[in-house]
Amino acid sequence: MIEKILLALLMTASGGGFWYRFRRVANIIAAAKPDPEFRIGSLGPRFRTFVWEVLCQGKVIEQRPVAGAAHALVFWGFLAFGLITLNHFALGFGFPFLSPDSVFGKAYFGLAAIFAVAVAVSISFLAFRRFVLKPVWLGAKVSVESGFIACLILTLMLTYLASLAIPETTLTGHGIWWLHTLALLIFLPLVPHTKHLHLVLSPLTVFLKRDGFSAIAKLNGDEDFGIVGTKDLDQIAALQAFSCVECGRCTEHCPAANTGKLLNPKEIILGLRTAFNELGTASEAPLLGAQISEEAVFQCTTCGSCEFQCPVGIQHLPLIVGMRRGAVNTGAWEDKFGTKLVLAME
């Protein structure tokens, strides 16, 4: 009984920690202005995109086959472990619904074991790639929390495999059960505080992304100058800003970045996220110069490679072009070559 009470308290604390951190993000997205031109439209194409890009991880694998396959296996493993996790906590309260003696239970536990091995190998490879190989597009800064979460995921897989070999009724087996439980409960409240928030938001981001490639919004009336501050960013932009997984695919394939320019599409999205966190959704303070480099924004060739590569549905061009519009229309643009060009045209 004491263990059940302790488990209930720990689950409450973990769920509360997750909601405390996630609620702030949800409130920011909800508080951003709606896009009056956004339409869900036909659901068929949206569901097809969702199935291909989210469930099948098609874009993730297509653009980076090795690392993409590893990410996909981790994602599919999490889906497979959903039922295992529910049964795990049910077992803690004495009401398991999956029995290793039933045909379905035996098959499902076996399937989960296969995924556990695949996830353990994949997460180890991804951690080695991030912390040892260090691809430049992932950024120079190494996140301690990302490394810790990788360790938690590996712990979950190894403890599950161990639980299949060591009965939970033994002292060792019971210790393994609690280690698995603690890894789960520590992992949950970390999600909203890290790039792993994309696990929650990116399915919605992919489903709700605007129709068409590089869809640039029209200016709405004489008072619409483009994107100047966070007050000019809509809910879709806020959702996309918080969905960034920081994989750096957009930067890796950006022609401006690859020719030594300052432009880094990933940093632009992260700059918007920082602005939302620091300024909220109603700020008139200019984004350019503070959170985002003005020079970098004007180096964009609008080729759309960033959008094409993004596996979580972020649409960079409407944001970049919107900020360029805002800088030009408010007279904030400072570029000696651009100024000479405008004067010559006048």
- Pairwise CA distance, residues 21 & 194, whole Å: 10
Residues 6+ apart with CB under 8 A from 12: none
Amino acid sitting at position 223? E
User: Which residue(s) pair with 292 in the sheet?
Assistant: 288
Q: What is the DSSP letter of 229?
A: S
246-288 per-position pLDDT tens digit? 988 999 999 999 999 999 999 999 999 999 999 999 999 999 9
- Decide if 229 contacts 276 (C-beta within 8 A): no
- Pairwise CA distance, residues 87 & 252, whole Å: 41
Amino acid sitting at position 65? P
Per-residue model confidence (pLDDT) at position 345: 47
What pLDDT band is residue 66 in, cutting at 50, 70 and 90? very high
- Decide if 235 contacts 33 (C-beta within 8 A): yes
139: left (phi over 0), alpha (psi -120 to 50) or beta: left
Residue 33 backbone phi and psi in degrees, to 5: -70, 145
Other CB atoms within 10 A of residue 63 CB: 17
Find the mean pLDDT for residues 289-308.
Answer: 90
> 3-class SS at 234?
strand
100-142 per-position pLDDT tens digit? 889 999 999 999 999 999 999 999 999 998 888 888 777 767 6
- Pairwise CA distance, residues 31 & 25, whole Å: 10
User: Which residue(s) pair with 234 in the sheet?
Assistant: 33
Q: Which of 328, 239, 340, 257 is nearest to 286 (CA)?
A: 328
What pLDDT band is residue 337 in, cutting at 50, 70 and 90? very low
248: left (phi over 0), alpha (psi -120 to 50) or beta: left
Tokens 């004007």 sit at which residue? 298
156-212 per-position pLDDT tens digit? 999 999 999 998 889 999 999 999 999 999 999 999 988 889 999 999 999 998 887
H or E stretch at 142: none
